[in-house]
Amino acid sequence: MNSLLVFLLLALLPQGRAFSQSNVRLAWQQKPQLALAIDVANLLTPQQKKLLYSGLSALSHFEIQSRDRDGSTALLFVSECTLKYNLWEERFELQQLTQGSMALQAFDDFAHLCLMAQLSSPSSFQRITESGSHIEILIDVAQVSPAFAADVRRWLIEQQSGVMRGLFSHMLGELQLSESIKLSVVAPPLSAGDKR
């Protein structure tokens, strides 16, 4: 068997937005080289999908980290895409940092390019192949960039002086500028069946 599909019930961390139940698809692939494929397209919440179809530019950020037993983390994979849905042509325009601009006919094309990771570097998954590992997955979809968020925050901080001095910001919560999911899953070790 070239690949083994593992469906895991995910543990929802407090930072994540509410959703009932989701799946992440992990698969060991042998060809062209040994790689751990992680597909998170099914994890998107309805609100995240709504942002992607908003007709305005949306930024997706997909990140994978491994977590050791001592709690230390290591970044394994990052993908960032800027996507815009053309309302009249009913297709996506993708601006990816590595591959430039392109037109996509379907949502699945976006998911394939921006919501799928292939960990093929031995250093990335050596520990996983031997004994499995905890993997943390973050998916952010936003209409604004982190720089925009920082600008707004700075503006609000500057507003504390003057008339509202001292009583402005205790009424100020955290800005929620992206729809975010953060999950922790257990990636199983490479079994003999996967190696065949």
Partner 1 sequence: MAGHASWVEYPKLTTVFKTLMHMPPFRNKSWWLRIVGLAGSLTALACSLQTAAAQTPSSRPVFLLEAVDVKGSERLPEGFLADELGLSPGQRINEEDLDIARTRLLGSGLFQSAQFFLSKGQAQDRVRLVIELEDDSGVLGPWAWGSSIAVLQEQNTDTSLRNPNQIDPYGIKAQIVSRNLLRHLHRAAVQIDMDGKGILRGAQFAYGFPRFSAEDAQFDASMEGTDGVWRYFEVLGFGTKGHLTWTLDRLTAGSFEYGVALFSNQEKHMRLPGFPDAIVGPRVGLRKETRLLSFRTSSGYSYTMAALLTTEGLRHMAFELGGAYSTEPWSQASLTLQSENLSVGGLSLSSRHSLRLEQALPVWHMASDPLLYLQGLWGHDTYREVNYAGTEWKVGLRFHSAGFIADLGLTYSLIPHLLKEMRNGEVQP
Enumerate binding residues for partner 1 (CB under 8 A). Answer: 50-51, 54-57, 59, 82, 87-88, 95, 142-145, 147-148, 151-152, 155-177
Q: Residue 65 or residue 82: which is nearer to partner 1 going by CB?
A: 82
For residue 75, the minimal CB distance to partner 1 (Å) is: 21
Token pair listed for 97? 């940092």
For residue 126, the minimal CB distance to partner 1 (Å) is: 35
Token pair listed for 76? 């394994």
Q: Residue 75 or residue 87: which is nearer to partner 1 going by CB?
A: 87
Q: How far apart are CA 69 and CA 141, in angstroms?
A: 29
Using only C-alpha atoms, the chain has a radius of gyration, in whole angstroms, of 20
Residues β-bridged to residue 67 = 73, 134
For residue 44, the minimal CB distance to partner 1 (Å) is: 15
Q: Residue 32 or residue 173: which is nearer to partner 1 going by CB?
A: 173
Token pair listed for 116? 């799928």
For residue 19, the minimal CB distance to partner 1 (Å) is: 17
Q: Is the peptide bond before 32 cis (omega within 30 degrees of 0)?
A: yes
For residue 57, the minimal CB distance to partner 1 (Å) is: 5
Q: How far apart are CA 69 and CA 111, in angstroms?
A: 31
Q: Residue 58 or residue 76: which is nearer to partner 1 going by CB?
A: 58
Q: Residue 71 or residue 88: which is nearer to partner 1 going by CB?
A: 88
Task: Please name which of 153, 136, 157, 193 lies closest in space to residue 15, comparing C-alpha atoms.
Answer: 136
